[in-house]
Amino acid sequence: MTAKIRRARPDTLTDMPITIPVILSGGSGTRLWPLSRRVAPKQLQLLVGEMTMLDATLARVAALGERIMVISSGRQDTAIPEHVGPQPVTLVVEPVPRNTAPAVAAAALLAESDDVLVVLPADHHLTDEASFVRTAEEAVTIARGGRLVTFGIIPTGPETGYGYILPKDRGSSPIDKFVEKPDVATAAALIEAGAVWNSGMFVFPVGLVLSELDQHRPGLVDAVRRAIRSATIDEGRVMLGPEFGDAPAVSIDVAVMEQTKQGVVVPLAAGWSDVGSWSALWELGERDADGNVIRGDVIAVDSNGSYLRSEGPLVAVVGVDDLVVVATADAVLVTRRDRAQDVKKLTEQLRDRPES
């Protein structure tokens, strides 16, 4: 069979090329343990404000496209709405996680070759949604001209945890090179030279991204095509077949963006955060007079600059500075704000535990 979501329902039948937001919701956000877990990843949690990041991302793209695709694991089924306003949402379920390149291939194969995909992770936060929509519309126009667009975030400092993209020119520009997680000095030099952060957000013409995937990762698209042929389709949910597991687990950055000659980076100034660690949530949160971000049943005595959160038990801190304390019903994390990235180390140790 050939599943094509543009024509999936008679009432939305159209032969015009459309823009399809594709939300990648397969991640598990291990650096936000113990709140974010495999069974309840960070995009489904109330982390910033009163909306999950998945819902915020769905709302963000409502203005951009006629249909929305969410690519995810089966575990999140119940969290994915069937509509966002009037727009139907197609859930594409991966039988196994395979990073972003196979997910993009699946979305592209489910669209028509003249459609455009706006690919966004489900677990990023933006403070300026209107600015994002304006920039995304510009990116769609560039993509329709036969380019693979990535959004570049204006750096706020020489962070070492991100990938950097050096454009050839200022503004929207072809890409000179990618630099993954540089040291501080290299990061500072890159910023000086006009580099931006790799956001993991893209706009792709369907035909072009498929041909570039075929060229740079032969076999990947074929494996995903077989998984779509054997997919189970039910009420706008596409369960990909087991052949999806034959595709290599590789990011779209590595598989295509770092290889292609058609790449363009579009700078994005929209208050972006990948909410990659508890320290990011401290930065995004509302700080009290002591510089603490507090959520839930927490008492802070003589304590400053800390992210303090409870999902149940009373959390009391006395005389501590710059910590992260997060308590759920069955687990407690205590770390320093400047060590919050290392929570990943911990979750690697925890992998063998049930429900970690």
Residues that bind a copy of itself (CB under 8 A): 33-34, 299, 301-302, 310, 312-320, 323, 325, 327-336, 339, 342-343, 345-346, 349-350, 353
CB of 324 to a copy of itself, least distance (A): 9
Phi, psi (degrees; rounded to nearest 5) at 136: -65, -40
CB of 352 to a copy of itself, least distance (A): 12
CB of 16 to a copy of itself, least distance (A): 52
CB of 299 to a copy of itself, least distance (A): 6
What is the sign of the dihedral through the CA atoms of 45, 50, 53 and 57?
positive
Distance CA 214, CA 260 (A): 12
Nearer to a copy of itself, 8 or 346 (CB): 346
CB of 336 to a copy of itself, least distance (A): 5
C-beta separation of 89 from 68 below 8 A? yes
Nearer to a copy of itself, 143 or 300 (CB): 300
CB of 314 to a copy of itself, least distance (A): 4
CA atoms within 13 A on the CB side of 30: 12
Report residue 281 as tokens.
């949530």
Nearer to a copy of itself, 295 or 339 (CB): 339
**Strand arrangement of the beta sheet that strand 323-327 belongs to:** 293-295, 307-310, 323-327
CB of 47 to a copy of itself, least distance (A): 19
Phi, psi (degrees; rounded to nearest 5) at 333: -110, 135
Nearer to a copy of itself, 139 or 308 (CB): 308
Nearer to a copy of itself, 243 or 311 (CB): 311
Nearer to a copy of itself, 111 or 327 (CB): 327
C-beta separation of 111 from 117 below 8 A? yes
DSSP state of 67: S
In 10 A of CB 13, how many CB atoms? Answer: 9
Phi, psi (degrees; rounded to nearest 5) at 105: -60, -45
Residue 298: its H or E element: strand 298-301
Burial class from Cβ neighbours inside 10 Å (0-12, 13-18, 19+) for residue 286 reads: exposed
CB of 342 to a copy of itself, least distance (A): 5
Q: Are strands 263-268 and 293-295 parallel, antiparallel or unpaired?
A: unpaired
Nearer to a copy of itself, 226 or 339 (CB): 339
Nearer to a copy of itself, 51 or 299 (CB): 299
CB of 271 to a copy of itself, least distance (A): 28
Nearer to a copy of itself, 61 or 333 (CB): 333
Report residue 244 as tokens.
């999806």
Residue 165: its H or E element: strand 163-167
Angle at 86 between CA 85 and CA 89, to 5 degrees: 85
Residue 59: its H or E element: helix 53-61
